[in-house]
Structure 1
C-alpha cells in the first residue's frame, strides 16, 4: 500500500432539483454540518429550478448555493459542483440521503493510500411507510441503496453508489467529470453515470482502486410508491437501458462484470430461499419475493436488449475526454 504523509481535506456537493424534498434537503445539509470531520466546503447545486434556488439563498447558512451551469440533469449539476471545489476530495450526497456523523471521516480515511481514486459507502433505505413484503433486500439497488450481496467489510469494487460517494478532485477533473449523456434528468430514472466515471478513472490510472466502505453510512429516504411492483419494473427497465448506454462507452465486459456475478450468485440464492420459506410456511410472502425478483431480472434484461437495439441505429455516445463546461469554473453566489 502506498501512503501519503497526511490525510486530505474534503468538500461536500449536494444536488437538488425540486422543492418537494425541501424538508429532506434541510436534514441532509444539517447532517453535513454535524460531521466529525468538518468539510472544507458545502456546495448545494440547484438543477434548473429558480424558485428552489431563491429559497435556498434566503434560508441556508454555511453553504454555497449555485445554479447548474451545465446541461440539465444530475451529471451536469455534479460537474458544476466539482468546478467550485478547492479541496483534495469531493464527496457527493443526494438531497434525500442523510449522512451519519462520521460519514465523511470514514470516507476520507482511505485516501491516505495514493492508489485509491474513489471511496463510497453504504446506503441504507429508510422507507416512508414500511418495506413491502415482496421487496427483498437483494433489490435495494432499485431505490438507490446497498443491496444484499454487497461486501460487509471495506473492499475494492468496480463502482460506488451515487448517493454516497467521493473522488479525488484531480481525478474527476482529469477524466472530464461525469458524462452528461448519462444519468438522471429530472424524474427520468436513468443512471450509471457514477459507474461509468469510476471505470474511466481506473482505466486512466493502472493499479488504482475504487473502495466500498460500508461503515461510511447514509440513510436514504424511500417514498412509498417506489415499493410498488409498477415502479420496480419501470425502474428495472430503465436500468437495463442505462447499462446498454454505458456499455457503448466503456465496453460490455467492463459494464456488466458485477451484474453477471449478481445474476449467477445472489439471485438464485434469493429465489431459492423465498420459495423454501413459502413452502415451509415460515413466510407466506416468500413466493412473492421470489417472483418479484425474477420479474425484475426479466425486465432489466429486456431493457438492456432494447437499449442495445436502439443503440444499433444511433451515433455512439461520446466518451468524455475533456472537462465539460462548468467543471473547471462556475459562477458562485454565497448563501446568506
Structure 2
C-alpha cells in the first residue's frame, strides 16, 4: 500500500534559504506510485517568502505546491496549520534551511511502509556551515540539529526522555492525532526572533506515549545550513538557553509523570542544583584558578539558567501531559 506524504515547510523571514530548500525539493526522485505534495506555511514573514513560493508554484516543478499563511506567531502554530491543511497520512516537517538528498521523500515513504508501528521517524542530519565554526562550537553541534546515530536504522527507547530533531522529522498522521498534540500543545517553539525550543521533542514524546514507535532512519539524509550569524556567541547563548527552558517539561513528559506539586517541586530542586553547580564551577575557576570565562562555560551557564527558568514555569503553570 502506497502512503501519501505532505512536505510541510514552516517559515519566517528566511526567503533566501527557503529558495534553496525548494530547489532541492524540486529535484526529488519519487516513484510515480507515491502521492506527494508540498506546503509552505508562511508564519507572518515580511520578506520575499511569498514571492519565492509563488515562483515555484508558477514554474510547476514541485507537485501540488501550495502556500498558506498562519497569523499566530510560533513554530508550533505553523505546524498545526500544516497538519490541518492536509489529508496526507505522512507529514514531513522540513525546516526552511534544509537541503534534502534527491531520494529523501522516497526513503521516508518506504520506511513507513516497512515499519507499520512507526509513529515518527527522524533523519540523518549533517550541518552545512557557511563559514568554518570555531573549535569550541563543535561539542554543541547537536543544539544546531546535527543528528547522526550511525548507518543502520535505530529504534529509539520506549521509556525515558529521548528525541529526534525537528529538521526532517516525519510523522504518521494517525499517530499524531492519537497523541493529543493538537489539543495539548505546550511548547510553542521558535516565535519570531525568540529562540524557544523543544516543540519537536514534545511531538515525538507524545507520539511515543500514545503507543507508537520512534525511529532514526539514516537513509533519509539532509543538510542543515548554518549561516555565520548562528554561530555567534550571542546567538548560541540565546539558543541553548531556550533549549534548556524546554527540558523540565520534556523530562516530565518523557517519563510520563503527572505534574503534581511534588513532581514540580522536585524538578525545581534538580534544576536549581544544576544551575548552582555550573555557577559555582565558573566562580571557582575564575576567582581561584584565574581561568578566563570561556565561550563554552557561558553556554553551559545559559543552559543551566534556561533549565531553571523552565522548571519555574512548570511549577507555576503546570501542563497537560
Q: What TM-score, normalized by structure 2, do the two folds share?
A: 0.75
Partners of 1:253 and 1:180 in 2: CA distance: 15
8 Å Cα contact 1:239/1:303 also seen in 2 = yes
The number of equivalent residue pairs is: 271
Map 1:192-207; keep pairs closer than 5 Å: 192-205=198-211
Return structure 1 stretches of 4+ with deviation > 6 angstroms: none
Deviation at 1:66, TM superposition (A): 0.4
Partners of 2:232 and 2:49 in 1: CA distance: 32
Taking CA–CA contacts closer than 8 Å with sequence separation of 6 or more, which of the two structures ends up with the larger relative contact order?
Answer: 1
Does residue 235 of the first structure (1) align with residue 239 of the second (2)?
yes
- The answer for unaligned runs of 5 or more in structure 2 is 157-161, 259-290
Residue 117 of structure 2 corresponds to which residue in structure 1?
115
Deviation at 1:175, TM superposition (A): 2.4
1:173-222 CA-to-partner distances (Å, cap 9, x unmatched) read 232445264311112111111111111111112xx311111231111111
Partners of 2:153 and 2:53 in 1: CA distance: 38
Partners of 1:57 and 1:29 in 2: CA distance: 8
**Could you tell which deviates more after superposition, 180-189 or 241-250?**
241-250
Residue 48 of structure 1 corresponds to which residue in structure 2?
44
1:273-301 CA-to-partner distances (Å, cap 9, x unmatched) read xxxxxxxxxxxxxx99xx65555334322
8 Å Cα contact 1:79/1:177 also seen in 2 = no
Partners of 2:210 and 2:225 in 1: CA distance: 35
Partners of 1:252 and 1:300 in 2: CA distance: 23
Q: Secondary structure at the match of 2:136?
A: coil
Partners of 1:293 and 1:8 in 2: CA distance: 45
Residue 212 of structure 1 corresponds to which residue in structure 2?
216
Deviation at 1:73, TM superposition (A): 0.8
**Could you tell which deviates more after superposition, 237-246 or 88-97?**
237-246
Residue 8 of structure 1 corresponds to which residue in structure 2?
3
8 Å Cα contact 1:27/1:98 also seen in 2 = yes
Q: What TM-score, normalized by structure 1, do the two folds share?
A: 0.72
Map 1:1-336; keep pairs closer than 5 Å: 6-18=1-13, 21-37=14-30, 40-49=36-45, 52=48, 54-56=50-52, 58-61=54-57, 62=62, 63-68=65-70, 71-111=72-112, 112-136=114-138, 138-146=139-147, 150-157=149-156, 158-177=162-181, 179=185, 181-205=187-211, 208-247=212-251, 249-251=253-255, 293=296, 295-312=298-315, 314-319=316-321
8 Å Cα contact 1:53/1:66 also seen in 2 = no
8 Å Cα contact 1:48/1:68 also seen in 2 = yes
8 Å Cα contact 1:128/1:224 also seen in 2 = yes
1:309–1:177: structure 2 CA closer, same or farther, 3 Å change rule? closer
Root mean square deviation of aligned Cα? 2.7
Partners of 2:179 and 2:240 in 1: CA distance: 29
